[in-house]
A and B are shown apart, each in its own frame.
Chain A
Amino acid sequence: MSPGVAWAWLSCWAIGAALVLLGWPREHWRRDGVLIPGLGLAAGLGLTSVVYTASSFLPSEQRLLATALIEGMALLGLGLALRRKSDARPFAPVERAAPSPAPRGELTWLACFVVVQAAVVASVVAYRMYQADPHGGWDAWAIWNLQARVFFRTEGDWPEVMQHAQLAWAHGDYPRAVPASVARLWMWAGAEPAGIAAGVSASFAGATVLIVGGVIASLRSPLVAWVSVFILISLPGFVLAAPNAHADLPLGCFFAGAGASALLGWQTPAARGPLVLAGLMTGLAAWTKNEGLLFCVVFTAVCATQAWRLGRARSGGGFALGLAIALVPTVLHKVLWAPSNDVMTGIGSRGWEQVTDLSRHVMIGSAFLRDAVGFTGWAYALYPVMLLACLAPPWRARLRAGEGSMLPVVGLMALGYYTVFLISPHDLRWHLDSALVRLFLQLAPLAIIGWALLLPRLPKRPTAKPRVRKRVVLAFVALNAAVATVVFATLSGQLRRGELAAETLAGTRVVAALAGDSWHGTESDGRARWTWSRGTADVLLHAERAGAVVTLSFDTRSLQPRAIRVTTEGRELWRGDAGTEFTTVELPPLVLGAGVTTLRIETNAPAVAESSDPTARALAFVVHEARLN
């Protein structure tokens, strides 16, 4: 990481954190010490993206100076204001109901240990995802990173570029928080490394984890906070999205930030800062994706209702102020530069017909049920256990001011998404398949906050909590490090992309790997691995040293009967037929030299389409669960 990029990251975090601290009751800085950095990172990325967008109209050689000046002045101003706040005596004591005391220290330590090990696995998986797709998934490079390149590569004329009809599919109407954040860091780097886009995405993921853990720790207990964080980071959908440079995770971060700030604001009536911050986060959600505009409507309605219920109408003014400020860039973008939105302009006269079409309701409803589980990526669903946890005794009232609002916000957002699908002009099946999973991912962090607040408050410890010795902390850290090392080593021993099998034989590592373009990507369900070929294809056997005797075997089948022949250097090793049922191919022992030995797997018939879909793959034969002995 270059010094410029490091400075850019730290300065954006510092600006955001300073702003949050300024608005936060001083008495709660320590108690909310996990939440504040999370909110600060999210707010910093959002606000500096606005500054960059404003400076993007300047020629590139002036942009860095202008951005640095504005951000520098902001940092200075916020720092001075913060210093005054730190030195000033509090106006009036700002009270908030204390969270539940840690019920059992051992459980909390155990939860922390589990989260650390889960974080090791999650981090490795996220990094692998980045290595496989450095530019991110389809929408990441086709929309968000493409828009970041338009910002970075133009000389102030990016609106003209995005207005071209040929770029309609790049959605120039989408808000600019993510591409502007990426382009800003590219500006400081002086180049376009793909890792920066992944880093912005991962930063939002990290901020989300801090926000979810921090708000639950402040409102409930460290134990429940660790459990909430664990559910989030063990969600495969969340982990795989972390480096993926889409805008759904940043949007979910702003949803969670708005929710967290509002929850704490409702519980500290004397302090207005948290609700101003909630409004700011809500507005920044609209600056991130169009779904953020729906969130503005829903969350404003919920906050207004809450203010009325609590008899604190004036606190609504703080929320409105934050929202109004944060909506300015979105409104300017939509009015001045954005082309029209494809969904909104395509509704037309068919809208009402679609609303009353029962088949659309059935398709959308079943997709919602399917993807409410599917978006998680779980092999083993956690929903039943999460529900059981909510039903745990004691069954007395659990929710304080406003805590019951988060799940209704999630529900109303889901209803809004349902309505958009209902009136969408696009092919409904395509629209649901391409978008719904990501919409649920946006709502997941806020839903986890809402779930955690439904849990019962655990009984207080009968005796005072003893002070934890330094020796115990060090032993805990050492244990975590030792187990994490073993976990990491085990993960490193797993097969890599392109590898069919790997073994250490006669003291040398032997790898069987795919070669050339004749293979489709390797697939896995977590238990078995298989790869389909496009026709005759090669497999490489790589040995670090000469002398290893290896036997390669695998199971094969085909969509239609065909003959298969395996040769090396013109010598036939195996011949047989592959049908629709699995056939085991076991090659005779081979003595390998150091380096690569190529095996050719030939077939006598062309590949066959796997379905009638025009985009279906053409498949010849499969190599399933390859083994080296």
Chain B
Amino acid sequence: MNEAQLHDALGELPEELLAPVDALRTRKRTPWVKWISMAACLALIVGFSTWLLPDFFGGVAMDNAGEAAPELQYGCLDDAGMAPNDCVQNSASSTGLHSFRATVLEVHDTYLLVTPKEGQPEASTAGQIEVSLPQLQQLPDIAIGDAIEIFYDGMLQETFPARATKVFRIDVLE
């Protein structure tokens, strides 16, 4: 007997035996995940407001030319201390929302792994992108194979796979 025969034998197990584990697998997530998402949403609103309203909050530092300092322009100096040239800017402007459409490959607690649709700038940058989830206001119900649109700050870290860390919204497309 080989492993493949063992797998085939498992495939013929009766459905009654599979029902309990099937129920566990398809059970909806516990409500507290939503509360954590709401807390992340509140933090995002405060942070986003600071970014959009510099005059009011005195946020973005400006250099002598009146432009945002490079490290803030690229926004890639994270806790790992990545330098600006480790990031790819997918738009001529570092302000405003950017979006791209993608197909979901993997779903994890803190991120999605997606592949961008062809024809978009992100597709020429990376074949697969990790999309961080914690900043989102609401976590939509997403599954493998879903077509989604990701709204983010336009910055992709040049890791492998590439990483979009500042994600503001994800829409599930029909």
| Chains A and B bind each other | no
